[in-house]
Chain A
């Protein structure tokens, strides 16, 4: 059944050398590897198997795959992609199709020409991988994929000195390293498009992130996601850790199972009296959402976004690219000192026939403490602190009366449970309250002086309205587990941590994030706006596209000139004995005995010996040694040469002559 051996179809021209074929397979493997994160696992596996089989088959006997094998495979691939994605258009199915066809192309790759075509399209496929992830690691992975590309192209040239696989890969690295200055220059000055020529791809995969509704247990996936959500730099000293609450959504409507943000959306933000302000810049990584997290509580909006009810910032467009924005926030404030009756009603809303025991508890507090809102809040927090509540990322599931189950039965959960239960309790006790979700804490990167906020720093807390003080933030989770605020969600839970979330490793990753930040700022975030300011240090405040084009041409010529100068330089390697003699000549010329034109070394050194009687013996010896080196044999002994050079080096001329 060695069907592989019978693939002997007629192939025109010279066959691909085995090494070239190996490198082409390696190229395809790299393409597959950089695309693997977003391809379906079965497709990656199947394509990998096809690659391996083809490699094994060609090692035994070269030959193209026959059409009866190729065509069904192509049809199968297309069919599989259509069934998986529903279409073959779009970014993800397009990439899957491209990678699949590239691997199938290898089945008929037998000549250098086939290999070149395949490798060129592999370059394209490598680039396509960056449409999914343009992070530092992904980009370096793709750049690494260029090594087999270059090595494979090199190996297609005839008549080269034989080399190991590694030695064939290394010159590509040198080539890329040498090309780096021109690359960076071109990257900086290639004029960016002000508007796309055709529709940019939609973010069609679901990202984990905060959502506009919250139900207890809904954030579990988010809290174990270590990917960065945003990075924040503060003007001046950063605020204390327990003030690092970034609000994203304010949720006022509770339907018994989950909290919703958009209930009667009145667009007007609450009035705010602020005491002092904290300026900061947020670099928000793409999340496909429209809300912009802001430190409690933002004073103003940013361009392209509006400040809504709950003082949350909502952007007009979803954030599909890394976004930078600068904001001012008040850490000490009084928000909405007077509550209108409509707002109060909304902040006291509770669904009927849900959570009877919780509501009864709230009522009992109301009766005990009356109008003393502070005492009611304290009663709730004391209950969380003292009555055996625990913090865990893997709580037991809750039934229909979720808050009753949580407060009186399971008593375990994380921020969502506590914020939800606390808010329901407050409302039952007649205290206007609402749920706020966002991020809390983060890792302070001392080296880069910025705050790294990961998705796992997502948090939910409550705000209660107290007459005279306005909306006041209350974090019931902190009552249960103060470490949540001081250390972070994963550290606080103490369970369900994978090995890669080990504290030490996590610390390393947090420190390493400074490189990611640099990459996101310097490369990914280098947009048309930043390009306009490119020449600011040189006194050109606004660089328009015409200037950039001229710069590109001029710089290209400069780099080209430098490259040509290097390429055309003839490095004549001087004979070492002659070089030593030249050195001796310079010393003697310094002492007043210059070599004349057309004067042989013997004559010259004799003349020097006569002119410098003190060095006569030394010069005589040097002359004889030089003549020995030069004329005694074709290949002078290296130790003799070294000796001569040393003597020349140590030769000293007395300044006093004659």
Chain B
């Protein structure tokens, strides 16, 4: 049965592209309208229809007009609920899709923002095998977060997603396929382990304390501070002793990561190694620069810099 359904669906996707998922990607925002909302009875709806038919025949057979009236009322209410199901989706807009950062092989967070003018209840979204439901107040917005699995670096197009609803009675199911023309940039996966980058020679100087000419800070005296560090003049205007604080550990040495130095590796392995170094440098809060065949990124540090470097690596051919 399930296999038959799957085959039927495949056939439908081939023969009725408009009805199923074959739609061209389109730019955001995507507003659902009547030409792209489809509606069929659910299994429960079909069963309920059969039940109504039985009730109708029974009422007619027993010439019981009150029962006939009740059956007509239920039938009409079911029909009205079909219109409500359609209206649950009509006018719903996918406003934006925002993606988090992702490294190939790990799922990426997709933030979908829906809004609608009217309040909506019980809208469900299928994406990448997950289903989430939301409701909207008047003029409200709803943000859904999906985990989209990734495999390889580079731009990954968003999959088609299905927005559907069986609101209000579960008798009918309206759905629409959304295929936003948007991609997620997936960063390369760093190699698991490997050598550190080759550094300039003056590594020993790194551990020295930096002694600046200018006073960095004054702090309260702690037992064990050398007397020559006490700021006597400043202490005289103060209640306790103040100590000149010179002990600023010097920042880690700047790394210059260079594509050309990894000539012995193949293309993807080079990217993976550079990605690992960028990640390590970022974790150690180092300053680092990156030279790539396509561009050169001057040394810097911080979140944005890291993202810039990873994106550049992701976009390498």
User: Most chain-A Cβ atoms within 10 A of its Cβ — which of B58, B68, B77?
Assistant: B77
Q: Which parts of A287-343 form the interface with B (CB within 8 Å)?
A: 321
With both chains docked as a complex, state the minimum distance between the C-beta of A159 and any C-beta of chain B, in angstroms: 3
Q: Which of A180-188, A221-229, A268-276, A457-465 lines the interface with chain B?
A: A180-188
Nearest 7 interchain pairs by C-beta: A159-B133, A134-B66, A179-B76, A157-B122, A182-B76, A567-B83, A158-B133
Query: Any chain B CB within 8 A of the CB of A160?
Result: yes
Give the interface size class of chain B. Answer: 35 or more
Complex Cα distance, B166 from A156, in Å, reads: 10
Distance of A559 Cα from B65 Cα, bound (Å): 22
Q: Which of A154, A184, A200 contacts B63 (CB 8 A)?
A: A200
* Distance A417 CA – B58 CA, assembled complex (angstroms): 46
Given the known inter-chain contacts A138-B66, A150-B169, please indicate yes or no for A160 contacting B61, CB distance below 8 A. no
Q: Which residue from B51, B67, B166 sits with its C-beta under 8 Å from A120?
A: B51
**Closest chain A residue to B48, Cβ basis:** A120
Q: Which residues of chain B from 83 to 124 have a CB within 8 Å of any chain A CB?
A: 83-84, 86-87, 90-91, 117, 119, 121-124
B72 with A567: CB separation less than 8 A: no
Q: Interface centre among B57, B66, B117, B133, by most A CB within 10 Å?
A: B66
Interface check B134, CB cutoff 8 A:
yes
Known: A156-B170, A568-B86. 17 other contacts (CB 8 A): A116-B170, A120-B44, A120-B47, A153-B171, A157-B165, A157-B167, A157-B168, A159-B121, A159-B135, A160-B135, A161-B137, A179-B76, A182-B72, A190-B60, A527-B65, A563-B79, A566-B83
What's the least CB distance linking B285 to chain A, in Å?
40
In the complex, chain A residues whose CB is within 8 Å of the CB of B133: 158-159
Instruction: Indicate whether A127 reaches chain B with its CB closer than 8 angstroms.
Output: yes
- Please judge, given known A-B contacts A120-B47, A196-B61, A568-B90, whether A523 and B69 are in contact too, CB under 8 Å: yes
12 contacts between A and B (CB under 8 A): A116-B170, A121-B51, A131-B67, A138-B66, A139-B66, A159-B135, A179-B76, A183-B75, A190-B72, A193-B61, A563-B83, A567-B83
* Contact A183 B69, CB 8 Å, known A134-B64, A190-B56: yes
Please indicate the chain B residues that have their CB under 8 angstroms from the CB of A200 in the complex.
61-63
Contact code string A153-177 (vs B, CB < 8 Å = 1, else 0): 1101111110000000001000110
Q: Which residues of A contact B62 (CB under 8 A)?
A: 131, 196, 200-201
Find the B residue at minimum CB distance from A556: B79
Among B158-213, those with CB < 8 Å from A are 165-171
| A130 at the binding interface (Cβ < 8 Å) | yes
Q: How far is the CA of A568 from the CA of B59 in the complex (A)?
A: 34
Contact status A175-B124, CB under 8 Å: no
The answer, yes or no, to whether A192 is at the interface (CB within 8 Å) is yes
Distance in angstroms from B137 CB to nearest chain A CB is: 7
Residues of A within 8 A of B77 (CB): 146, 150, 175-176, 179
Choice from B68, B81, B83 contacting A187 with Cβ under 8 Å = B68
B18 contacts partner chain A, Cβ-Cβ < 8 Å? no
List B contacts of A198 (CB < 8 A): 61
The yes or no answer to B8 lying at the interface (CB within 8 A) is: no
- Secondary structure of the A contact surface, majority rule: helix
| Chain B proximity of A635: nearest CB distance (Å) | 13
**In the complex the two chains form, is A175's CB within 8 Å of B80's CB?**
yes
Query: What is the distance, in angstroms, from A570's C-beta to the closest C-beta of chain B?
Result: 7
From the candidates A130, A153, A158, A197, name the one contacting B124 in the complex (CB within 8 A). A158
A130-B67, A321-B63 known; A123 vs B74 contact (CB < 8 Å): yes
User: Are the C-beta atoms of B44 and A116 separated by less than 8 Å?
Assistant: yes
Chain A residues with CB below 8 A from B134, complex form: 159
B71 CB–A CB distance under 8 Å: yes
CA–CA, A559 to B71, complex, Å?
Answer: 17
Cβ contacts under 8 Å, A157 to chain B? 121-122, 165-168, 170
**Most chain B C-beta atoms within 10 Å of own C-beta, residue among A130, A142, A143, A570:** A130
- The interface residues of chain B lying within 8 Å CB-to-CB of A656 are none
Could you say which residues of chain B place their CB within 8 Å of the CB of A197?
57, 61
A527–B64 Cα distance when bound, in Å, is 9
Residues in chain A near residue B40, CB distance under 8 A = none
Cα(A573)–Cα(B91), bound, Å = 13
CB pair A186–B75 under 8 Å, yes or no, is: yes
Interface string of A541-565 (1 = CB under 8 A from B): 0000000000000000001100110
Q: With A and B bound together, what is the CA distance between A142 and B77 in angstroms?
A: 15
Does any Cβ of B come within 8 Å of A526's Cβ?
yes
Contact status B170-A130, CB under 8 Å: no
B80 touches which one: A123, A130, A178 (CB < 8 A)? Answer: A178
Q: Taking A179-B77, A197-B61 as contacts, is the C-beta distance between A524 and B119 under 8 angstroms? A: no
Instruction: Given the known inter-chain contacts A187-B72, A566-B83, please indicate yes or no for A159 contacting B63, CB distance below 8 A.
Output: no
Residue of A nearest to B137 (CB): A161
Q: How far is the CB of B30 from chain A (nearest CB, A)?
A: 16
CA distance A299 to B170 in the complex (A): 60
State A564–B86 Cα separation when bound (angstroms).
9
CA of A176 to CA of B65 in the docked complex: distance in angstroms?
18
The answer for the CA separation of A525 and B69 in the assembled complex, in Å, is 12
A126 close to chain B: CB less than 8 A: yes
Instruction: Decide: A160 and B58 in contact? CB cutoff 8 A.
Output: no
Chain B residues lying within 8 Å of A568, measured Cβ to Cβ, are 34, 86, 90
